[in-house]
Amino acid sequence: MKWTDLWGLAWRGLTRRRVRTGLTALGITVAVASMVIFLSLGEGIRKVFVEQLGGIGPDIQVSLSGFTQGFAPQPNLPDKAVGDIQALAPELGIKTVTPVVMTIRGSLDVSQSVVLYGLPAAQGIGTVFPNVSAAQGRAFTPADEGQGVAVLGAKAAQNLNLRIGSTLNLNRRNKAEVVGVLAPESGLVDNFIFLPLSTLQKAEGAEGRVSLVAVKLDNPRQAREVATQLSDKLDLEASTQSDFLSFVERALKISDAVRFGISLISLIVGGLAVANTVMMGVFERTREFGTLRAIGARPGFVRALVLSESLLLSLVGGVGGVIVGLVGIWGVNLYTQDLAGIDAAALTPRLVLLALGISLFLGLVSGLLPARTASRLNITEALGRV
């Protein structure tokens, strides 16, 4: 018998009990869709960083502890490090050296969370982020150093409902007036609030200390070599953009494992539903299988037929899960575009293959016991079953 005939028989077997089959396929669909949506978040964030990090930020960032404190390290690096790096600039081909203080202002309302980014007003935002420009108001001038002024990214201004002339509360004792709003440029920078370095140092109680030193090179291709020399000469952590991407990748792999573990619970429940549906079909069609055996069908054929039903049921659920997951991803991106200007979720080819592969594996495992039971039926007892 051809494989097409076998699959045709399997489909007819499933459609005899359409409600039961439909509900089981729906369970698989929901389980696969939840897995697709959860894992798509990691795929989307990877895509955002790979696409956007290349055109923004420093070639090298020098700090006391690298990325062990996350994206925004504490301001614990003495100002002296800035002078030490500037002294090495001619030797290492360093173009600009920019001291930076960073802090994340969190909130229970995600839309109110922003990154405060302090840098010397005389150097300006363009020193570290060359593609940004002011859409409203102005950028920093040298006279702004130490003053309570701020330039906001487009999304930060929108989410915090701030405009030119508005007052930004840094804490109970420190405030800043909004003097500029940047044009939408990058989903990352759009959520930054830029402040003069000494203004943020004062607000954070970090006078004389910085979070990191941002370094731009004459030749960015030498970033790895220069970072190694800076680390050796200054006994500090010098990280390149590729180091940051590796850090992000490691963090995302951990979060992917957690999200997959959560999804695994619903996948196991879906697999049990498939096993139950196929096993019920075997008991209800005992006489049919006995007849097949009586007219010459081998046990292997009966086993293949039941396994085909299980695989087909899981495949239908898997395809449905990918489609529903795609709709869910669209909804997630609709929210994150409004919140931060980025697509936080992405359906990649490897995620589709993973979803369909897990669906088929689920069907195979769920169908093994029913297939074994069907292939071992005693022909006489099966034909005598009413």
User: Could you read off the pLDDT of 12-54 as tens digits, one per residue?
Assistant: 877 888 888 888 889 899 999 999 998 998 888 877 776 666 5
Asked if the model's pLDDT at residue 181 lies above 70, the reply is: yes
The CA distance from 95 to 57, in Å, is: 14
Indicate if 279 and 177 belong to the same structural domain: no
Mean pLDDT of the residues in the chain: 84
Indicate if 189 and 274 belong to the same structural domain: no
Asked if the model's pLDDT at residue 178 lies above 90, the reply is: yes
55-89 pLDDT, tens digit per residue, is 556 888 898 887 776 667 788 899 899 999 999 99
Indicate if 164 and 303 belong to the same structural domain: no
Indicate if 33 and 178 belong to the same structural domain: no
**Highest mean pLDDT range out of 150-159, 254-263, 267-276, 284-293?**
150-159
Asked if the model's pLDDT at residue 108 lies above 90, the reply is: no
The total domain count for the chain is 2
Indicate if 77 and 176 belong to the same structural domain: yes
Question: Does 88 fall in a domain?
Answer: yes
With beta carbons less than 8 A apart as the criterion, state whether 9 and 295 touch.
no
Asked if the model's pLDDT at residue 188 lies above 80, the reply is: no
188 φ/ψ angles, rounded to the nearest 5 degrees: -80, -55
Confidence of residue 239 (pLDDT cuts 50, 70, 90): confident
Question: Does 242 fall in a domain?
Answer: no
Confidence of residue 330 (pLDDT cuts 50, 70, 90): very high
Indicate if 76 and 192 belong to the same structural domain: yes
What is the model's pLDDT at position 85?
93
Indicate if 207 and 149 belong to the same structural domain: yes
- Which of 235, 260, 293 finishes a domain? 235
Separation in Å, CA 175 to CA 168, 193, 217, 278: 6, 13, 34, 67
The CA distance from 194 to 101, in Å, is: 10
Confidence of residue 152 (pLDDT cuts 50, 70, 90): very high
Read off the pLDDT of each residue in 162-187 and give the average, rounded to a whole number.
88
- Which of 201, 235, 269 finishes a domain? 235
| Beta pairing partners, 331 | none
Question: Does 123 fall in a domain?
Answer: yes
Asked if the model's pLDDT at residue 179 lies above 90, the reply is: yes
Asked if the model's pLDDT at residue 140 lies above 80, the reply is: yes
What's the pTM? 0.72
Indicate if 264 and 299 belong to the same structural domain: yes
With beta carbons less than 8 A apart as the criterion, state whether 294 and 383 touch.
yes
- Which of 235, 268, 284 finishes a domain? 235
Indicate if 215 and 353 belong to the same structural domain: no
Question: What is the residue range of 357's domain?
Answer: 4-51+249-384
